[in-house]
């Protein structure tokens, strides 16, 4: 069946569109072990995809590193608690 990534890979013919789907699954740690294996086999022999994967990984890690730290106003948590519990406390 065409949709089986392992069968495609066994022909040694690169299926870029299948690999594109797998790339994201691998990047987000959502791939099954079989999908990961197919992807890794593909990128070993496919320089453009190897580079795309490295770029995507670098962007993901930079987004995580640089976009997380918006400082919350110090009084916000207390304000919320006060609104909810002040009367009852």
Partner 1 sequence: MSDSQRQNYSHKEKQEVFDQEFMPHINAMYNFAFRLTFDEDDAKDLVQDTYLKAYRFINSFEKGTNAKAWLFRIMKNSFINDFRKKSKEPAKVDYQEVETFYNSDDVDKAITSDLRVEAVQDMMGDEISNALNSLDVDFRTVIILCDLEGFKYDEMAKILDIPIGTVRSRLHRARNLLKEKLRDYANKMGFKN
Q: Kindly state the smallest distance separating residue 82's Cβ from partner 1, in Å.
A: 11
Q: Which is nearer to partner 1, 1 or 69 (CB)?
A: 69
Q: Kindly state the smallest distance separating residue 37's Cβ from partner 1, in Å.
A: 20
Q: Which is nearer to partner 1, 10 or 59 (CB)?
A: 59
Measured CA to CA, the distance from residue 51 to residue 44 in angstroms comes to: 11
The footprint of partner 1 (CB under 8 A) covers 16-17, 20-21, 24-25, 28, 30, 48-49, 51-52, 54-56, 58-60, 62-70, 72-73, 76-77, 79-81, 83-85, 88
Longest dimension (CA), the chain: 71
Closest CA to 38 of 73, 13, 70, 58: 13
Q: How far is CA 66 from CA 13, 62, 72, in A?
A: 39, 6, 16
Q: Kindly state the smallest distance separating residue 25's Cβ from partner 1, in Å.
A: 8
Measured CA to CA, the distance from residue 62 to residue 64 in angstroms comes to: 5
């Amino acid at each position: 069946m065409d949709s089986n990534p392992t069968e495609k890979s066994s022909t040694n013919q690169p299926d870029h569109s299948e690999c594109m789907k797998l790339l994201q699954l691998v990047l987000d740690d959502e791939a099954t072990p079989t999908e990961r294996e197919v992807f890794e086999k593909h990128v070993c022999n496919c320089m453009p995809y190897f580079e795309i994967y490295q770029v995507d990984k670098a962007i993901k890690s930079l987004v995580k590193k640089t976009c997380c730290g918006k400082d919350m106003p110090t009084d916000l948590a207390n304000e919320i608690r006060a609104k909810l519990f002040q009367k009852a406390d």
